[in-house]
Structure 1
């Protein structure tokens, strides 16, 4: 049995996603997550506090351990600096007091401790008390002192705490910033600071979707390579790179980290399969290549255990149920006339954007610019195209290719050729003339994005994210016609075809609408989720992933985006990673997009921008009846937030 990190007991039940982030030890968070915070064997339950700690033995008598028995355990205690009494330090016995306020009340340090006064101890620059935590971080192998992420520290307060701790604690300790604001304070104060970004960046394991599965390990250097044998739905694929898309599989292990909202990770969430980043995965999993194993992924680590090859390969329940299309609507549908019901003839993407703009005009969505104008080419146009004899014959020929059913490589090549031919076929002259007329009259002939909006996207228990094509910044008549047919042809994208088969959705059930939308030259763009994707118990949080330029590269996931988490309770913005991008996409005046060089490692969004995005996200969640949302957004060159898509955040439970 192969183990990494904490040894696990294999189970068939799903695991909740906790402890992926480098959070501060917190009794409240532990209680929320149902975690155990363990006392040491030498715990002293009588002493209220210590004024100084001389050695580790003495520390252990008043400390407790957060995440016990894991690689990220933190043995810690709370401390209070009393600025009214010469910066006197109280190291609290956490076996008696789990919260700073409990100690202040029970030791009568303050005559009154109402909500307003308590809040001031986390916000006022002239506060009497500084509340902190100090502990041994097994992951860092260092002593660390830190503060609640919502604590509005100042450089003066930080230096006061640093000096008080250094003069009363037996070992050197480093300051850990738990918010972007605290990072700035540490820099201004000239205090050695470690950040959550640094901690997460050095980890060799990140769980992206927890769960367990029995399957065959397949080491795959390049998913799209013709040299690879067929990848089967029961395979656990180990990947060197994060691909743009992937056919249905039983589990995913990647050798390079990626953001949780890359297409591959969103698909894995939707399929409910174990998914993790493991450093040096190829060498670690090499002994298991083409062997059957039981894989379990959890917050604490992963296990790989040899398993017997089943007599019949396992299959998963088919989950895809598509909406029946409404083909009676043949007129192009402008955004201004589209509401939620239009999904029946235009697909969910265009219909949802119409609903978003309607709600914005009605005052229910504030803090955003108007949704970029556009129009929908309804399902009826696609249906007419697909019913043509030449189109049907070409599709039949592709599906009848020798070896199509047996070989993934043959299928990919046949589908590539099919898409090319479909996009090049002559369009219906009347329909094409209508598209061009709407583009020139309604959108004034400006550059447009030609986007998929099918009846097989954003379904309950089925996301379909990233399976179909978008053609960016179309600027010519002929290119618009070809772009519409390219989006239609993307019904036969290899990954879409494979996912559809796996879900039990017939080709004939899929109808493709096309949303033609005015292009915006984004300064920054990205995706956000109206919940914490790492911890389902963390309410009122918004996760934001961002990069500079047009957002195509954000969802591809080939490079790490800037990742932030906003917490409504604390008001804090936590920076989880900085963008690794060294280039950005911008609109090309001649059509399409152009890649430009940028400086890597710089902040993409300010804290204010993250908070503004989070507010928009929570409004969209309310508009769509409290359903968690997966939102594509942009910020234009004028600094305005633009909503480009909002869909339900799909997350199936992994087994």
Structure 2
């Protein structure tokens, strides 16, 4: 019979007695199995030793204990995650005291080898008596508020082997395979249910299955084959909340529902992304790049976190997930590029690691064909062909879809044309040998380009025909043209309504000149050559008769190669015919015989260009005239621009849109040239990648082209959000990629000040065109799109921003 002494005696006895450590086993694995989402114990989990092939089962509390290299069980007292493990060779009972002797619990006998769950206790030191027939042991415990631990340490012996591997499995749960070091190890194994449809968040990611359960499409959708998971780090409890991103599109509703945030969305935005004294939440996302097998940490670009805060969150994610060694920071805010204490990944590395790029998210039907890039011009391409190209062309006639093996610039002419046609466009690096594409070559297929992947399958002629008849232009369009107005046109007196006299590009340019607050900087000394002079050139040299005969010729209509040859002949006739000397003299007088600038740009401006229903991007050509250059004369520049009206691809594009070819006329926009520009770029004045209001900016150093990019060349691509949490700024800058032009490593193409100025210009232009220029967009202001081209030049040694073109973007 056991006689209990007063509490003070047992407090004294604790310091007199030592914990029995009769260690005969070399090492032991002990721990608990619980459900990842709820934390509840999972009983009857099979725990299998892969090398030995033996299995044990966790008990009703999810507890397990496994000793190795021992002929008999040892009498060791263990407390693992608040579970007391009784010795294997004795029945015991427990009494738990506070440090001042107050008794908290007294248990009945616990069977040999059984477990007993101890309560959660307030932080502090406690004493546990373990009573058996043989003796009484006293253990000193420490409570963190969540967990109980024994303060004495027991020494363990090192094993000659490096690791064991245990597999934890149970029906209805994903299996977990864990390597254990061959020494005494405590493990809390969390199992993920396969049927947890009500899961809102997890506080840990034990494996990819957990990530996959929570992931959705990335918020910024400019890259393919990416899975994204949103999270919030809560500073108050030092936990990471991995959100069910399929259920919660934004961070605020989650914070409101599960983290007790009750001050509204606006307050959340101005306090939980800034250095506010009220901040305790840190929202972010983790993007998984499947082709790279790397996970990328991203934050809102306007977040005011510093590198030490990012490092702390990075460490918390690494310690609560399987991502250690695979997690990187993407510094979409330039200030984070100096965060040297965390591994950083560059846009170059992400770009190189991608296999798939979604350019124009659309679907369509066509016959799948492989076309060698080098032989593109000699191949017939039908409007119902979906082509696979082993390169990026500058010119492609109307086709039903495009797949390239090289990545494209999102705002390149080839993608703008795909966007305007509504046809799918994507890049797939292994497309030339992709098994699925190989299998479907020559077949009528359905292709759908999605943000993260693509669908391609066989199609029937009935479904394809129904799609073509519904989606392709069916109505013949006759364009208006005024060929009577002569003389050079002062664009300050013109407007968008002048499109039937000077063409879409010049008419839109005239609208830019109306903007005064702030005054939009445009290329100096602009004017326009109206359709009148093109029309007279065609009539006076009887080129119009040759052209009309072509359009009536059945061979011309049905034979693509013949059509190419005859259009080339037509262009030659336009260039070789003499130009009206009166027009030449008018222009020489206007530009003061090259006195102000040594070079002038003559830019195409047709009535089949920069229109609401027809962009014409990249269809026509522009040329320069230079002082004292016998090849780049005013006459040659004008005639070459006129001739480009009949480029093969321009003709085919107009045919697709059912534009009457005889109704087309070419005017010319003229302004000084930019022979030594510092940068050039394109802006789309609506956010193509997520729902937040903003502009997409693509910009490149010098004269490297954005719209006709060279393979492998990256540019600065960014979202210029039209809001900011910093009251001193109107915009927030988020970089999506950086230029990889040799010699400019580590530099941004535009300064922050230039980006803010560009944003101001674009806001004013967008407001003017939205409210004052006719359009059919039944949309809100944020969703109204313009395609704006700009340059940075240094006419007097000082960098200056110029807006050179604007057109509607749908």
**TM-score interval, normalised by the smaller of the two chains:** 0.7 to 0.9
In 2: Cα distance, 1:114 partner to 1:312 partner: 46
Question: Which residue of the other structure, out of 358, 363, 375, is the alignment partner of 2:514?
Answer: 358
Q: Which residue of 2 aligns with 1:241?
A: 391
> How many Å apart are 1:340 and its aligned residue?
2.4
> How many Å apart are 1:332 and its aligned residue?
0.5
- SS of residue paired to 1:123: coil
The answer to whether the 8 A contact 1:530-1:542 is kept is: yes
Q: Which residue of 2 aligns with 1:137?
A: 288
1:1-27 deviations in Å (ceiling 9; x for gaps): xxxxxxxxxxxxxxxxxxxxxxxxxxx
Distance 1:65 1:111, change over 3 A: closer
Greater RCO (Cα-Cα under 8 Å, separation 6 or more): 1
Question: Which residue of the other structure, out of 588, 604, 616, is the alignment partner of 2:761?
Answer: 616
Question: Which residue of the other structure, out of 327, 347, 355, is the alignment partner of 2:483?
Answer: 327
Distance 1:394 1:113, change over 3 A: closer
Distance 1:568 1:200, change over 3 A: farther
Distance 1:192 1:423, change over 3 A: same
1:541-552 matches, within 5 Å, as 541-550=694-703
Gaps of 5+ in 1: 1-38, 83-87, 583-597, 651-655
The answer to whether the 8 A contact 1:78-1:131 is kept is: yes
The answer to whether the 8 A contact 1:45-1:93 is kept is: no
Q: Which residue of 2 aligns with 1:641?
A: 801
In 1: Cα distance, 2:804 partner to 2:500 partner: 20
Q: Which residue of 2 aligns with 1:33?
A: none
- SS of residue paired to 2:583: helix
In 1: Cα distance, 2:412 partner to 2:212 partner: 44
**Pair 1:631 & 2:784 matched:** no
1:553-572 matches, within 5 Å, as 553-559=705-711, 560-569=714-723, 571-572=731-732
1:211-610 matches, within 5 Å, as 211-222=362-373, 225=376, 227-228=378-379, 230-284=380-434, 285-308=437-460, 316-318=472-474, 321=477, 323-360=479-516, 363=517, 365-366=518-519, 368-395=520-547, 404-440=556-592, 444=596, 446-472=598-624, 474-476=626-628, 479-520=633-674, 521-535=676-690, 538-550=691-703, 553-559=705-711, 560-569=714-723, 571-581=731-741, 598-599=743-744, 602-610=747-755
Question: Which residue of the other structure, out of 350, 356, 359, is the alignment partner of 1:199?
Answer: 350
The answer to whether the 8 A contact 2:384-2:399 is kept is: yes
> How many Å apart are 1:126 and its aligned residue?
6.8
Distance 1:41 1:450, change over 3 A: same
**Pair 1:90 & 2:235 matched:** no
In 1: Cα distance, 2:667 partner to 2:193 partner: 62
In 2: Cα distance, 1:302 partner to 1:90 partner: 37
Which moves more between the two structures, 109-118 or 153-162? 109-118
The answer to whether the 8 A contact 1:186-1:192 is kept is: no
1:326-379 deviations in Å (ceiling 9; x for gaps): 22310101333332232231112112212212213xx2x45x434422211101
> How many Å apart are 1:45 and its aligned residue?
7.2
Distance 1:644 1:217, change over 3 A: same
> How many Å apart are 1:542 and its aligned residue?
0.5
1:441-474 deviations in Å (ceiling 9; x for gaps): 6974631111011111122221111111100353
In 2: Cα distance, 1:117 partner to 1:392 partner: 66
- SS of residue paired to 1:159: helix
Gaps of 5+ in 2: 1-191, 219-223, 725-730, 771-780
> How many Å apart are 1:236 and its aligned residue?
0.9
- SS of residue paired to 1:528: strand
Coordinate RMSD, CA, aligned: 3.8
In 1: Cα distance, 2:373 partner to 2:200 partner: 60
Distance 1:138 1:500, change over 3 A: closer
The answer to whether the 8 A contact 2:473-2:658 is kept is: no
- SS of residue paired to 1:158: helix
In 1: Cα distance, 2:556 partner to 2:202 partner: 73
In 1: Cα distance, 2:594 partner to 2:492 partner: 11
1:129-168 matches, within 5 Å, as 129-133=280-284, 137=288, 139=290, 141-142=293-294, 145-166=297-318
Which moves more between the two structures, 372-381 or 558-567? 558-567
In 2: Cα distance, 1:375 partner to 1:456 partner: 19
- SS of residue paired to 1:488: helix
In 1: Cα distance, 2:242 partner to 2:319 partner: 19
Per the normalisation by structure 2, the TM-score is 0.64
Aligned residues: 579
Per the normalisation by structure 1, the TM-score is 0.78
Distance 1:56 1:258, change over 3 A: closer
The answer to whether the 8 A contact 1:156-1:189 is kept is: no
Q: Which residue of 2 aligns with 1:586?
A: none
Distance 1:319 1:129, change over 3 A: farther
- SS of residue paired to 1:516: strand
Question: Which residue of the other structure, out of 73, 77, 81, is the alignment partner of 2:227?
Answer: 73
Distance 1:556 1:600, change over 3 A: farther
The answer to whether the 8 A contact 2:295-2:328 is kept is: no
In 2: Cα distance, 1:165 partner to 1:189 partner: 17
> How many Å apart are 1:624 and its aligned residue?
0.2
> How many Å apart are 1:197 and its aligned residue?
5.8
Distance 1:482 1:125, change over 3 A: same
1:164-179 matches, within 5 Å, as 164-166=316-318, 172=324, 176-177=328-329
Q: Which residue of 1 aligns with 2:114?
A: none
In 1: Cα distance, 2:232 partner to 2:252 partner: 11
The answer to whether the 8 A contact 1:347-1:453 is kept is: yes
The answer to whether the 8 A contact 1:220-1:238 is kept is: yes
Which moves more between the two structures, 573-582 or 163-172? 163-172
In 1: Cα distance, 2:444 partner to 2:256 partner: 58
The answer to whether the 8 A contact 2:230-2:251 is kept is: no
Distance 1:90 1:322, change over 3 A: farther
The answer to whether the 8 A contact 2:228-2:285 is kept is: no
In 1: Cα distance, 2:193 partner to 2:348 partner: 30
In 2: Cα distance, 1:112 partner to 1:533 partner: 31
The answer to whether the 8 A contact 1:125-1:157 is kept is: no
> How many Å apart are 1:278 and its aligned residue?
1.4
The answer to whether the 8 A contact 1:453-1:515 is kept is: yes
Which moves more between the two structures, 320-329 or 348-357? 320-329
In 1: Cα distance, 2:629 partner to 2:319 partner: 74
Which moves more between the two structures, 305-314 or 339-348? 305-314
> How many Å apart are 1:103 and its aligned residue?
7.5
